[in-house]
């Protein structure tokens, strides 16, 4: 079934941050808690901890209410700026930042990252370290020439983006435009890391269905090249666990590490 492109107004009105976290990252049956999370955590661990991508500032674009993808980054960046289109995601993220009793419990995922880093005992320290590195949560819109308008963000060492651009972009042309606009947010020689689902058409949050751009390896690599980046590394993997296909129908996952020219 075709999913009409989801409007921004639908995101504003119907994206429930709490329900999103429970559905996708819940400890017992979160749909993304298995192979997706492992894919992201492993690739980011290799990039940040072993791969030497580091610096002063990391900008995470389209953070949503999530923190899992920032858990390795906080070891190698002095500060992290997080961002999203939605106020309800900022509010949910703030709950975690302020240790609100109603905040989502990320312990099971923090433990995975601590295990990868070989300090399995230090989950609390890890969470505190990430909290201490978050500088601010900005509202952004990927489809604007300056996504942070009217705020001007100084170019950063690394821009990270997980499961985001397939939401607002209606086609690969629009995805490529966003990549071009991102160049103003990245220092010369800086890094762009994008991780997302392949060949998807929708995902659900509760009863609400949200469209996603259907991306594939060839189109993605063409878009990065057309936008003027150098691809350093690209990883593609099929979806193995097909349970939950009716909730989110991505067929695979990708990680692209690209660099802005010096």
Ligand X SMILES: C[S@@+](CC[C@H](N)C(=O)[O-])C[C@H]1O[C@@H](n2cnc3c(N)ncnc32)[C@H](O)[C@@H]1O
What residues make contact with ligand X under the rule CB under 6 A?
8, 11, 15, 62-64, 66, 69, 84-86, 89, 140-143, 162-164, 167-168
Residue 46 Cβ, how far from ligand X at the closest point, in Å? 18
Residue 105 Cβ, how far from ligand X at the closest point, in Å? 15
Residue 40 Cβ, how far from ligand X at the closest point, in Å? 8
Q: Which residue is nearest to ligand X (CB)?
A: 64
DSSP symbols for 188-247: EEEEEEEEEEES--EEEETTEEEE-----HHHHHHHHHHTTEEEEEEEEEE----TTTTT
Residue 81 Cβ, how far from ligand X at the closest point, in Å? 14
**Cα dihedral 89, 95, 101, 107 sign:** positive
Residue 219 CA, chain-centre distance (Å), reads 20
Closest by CA to 179, choosing from 215, 137, 135, is 215
Residue 262 Cβ, how far from ligand X at the closest point, in Å? 28
Which helix (H) or strand (E) is 135 found in, with range? strand 134-139
Residue among 153 and 164 whose Cβ is closer to ligand X: 164
Residue among 95 and 225 whose Cβ is closer to ligand X: 95
Residue among 38 and 122 whose Cβ is closer to ligand X: 38
- Within the chain, residue ranges assigned H as helices are 8-14, 17-25, 35-45, 87-97, 107-117, 123-133, 172-182, 217-226
Closest by CA to 76, choosing from 153, 135, 154, 129, is 129
Residue among 147 and 190 whose Cβ is closer to ligand X: 147
CB contact set of 174 (below 8 Å; sequence gap of 6+): 143, 168, 213
Residue among 143 and 231 whose Cβ is closer to ligand X: 143
Residue among 121 and 207 whose Cβ is closer to ligand X: 207
Residue 121 Cβ, how far from ligand X at the closest point, in Å? 26
């Amino acid at each position: 079934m075709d999913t009409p492109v989801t409007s921004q107004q639908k995101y504003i009105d119907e994206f429930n941050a709490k329900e999103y976290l429970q559905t996708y990252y819940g400890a017992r049956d979160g749909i993304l808690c298995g192979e997706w999370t492992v894919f992201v955590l492993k690739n980011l661990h290799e990039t940040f901890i072993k791969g030497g991508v580091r610096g002063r500032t990391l900008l995470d674009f389209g953070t949503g209410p999530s923190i899992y993808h920032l858990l390795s980054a906080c070891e190698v960046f002095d500060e992290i700026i997080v961002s999203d289109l939605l106020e309800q995601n900022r509010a949910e993220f703030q709950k975690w930042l302020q240790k609100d009793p109603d905040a989502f419990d990320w312990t099971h995922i923090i433990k995975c990252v601590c295990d990868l880093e070989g300090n399995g005992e230090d989950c609390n320290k890890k969470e505190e370290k990430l909290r201490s590195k978050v500088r601010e949560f900005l509202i952004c819109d990927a489809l604007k020439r300056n996504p942070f308008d009217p705020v001007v963000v100084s170019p950063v060492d690394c821009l990270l983006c997980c499961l985001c651009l397939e939401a607002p972009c209606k086609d690969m042309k629009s995805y490529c435009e966003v990549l071009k606009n991102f160049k103003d947010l990245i220092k010369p020689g800086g890094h762009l890391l994008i991780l997302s689902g392949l060949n998807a058409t929708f995902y659900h949050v509760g009863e609400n269905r949200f469209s996603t751009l259907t991306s594939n390896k060839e189109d993605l690599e063409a878009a990065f090249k057309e936008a003027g980046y150098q691809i350093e590394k690209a990883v593609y993997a099929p979806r193995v666990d097909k349970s939950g296909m009716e909730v989110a129908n991505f067929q695979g996952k990708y990680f692209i590490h690209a660099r802005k020219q010096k």
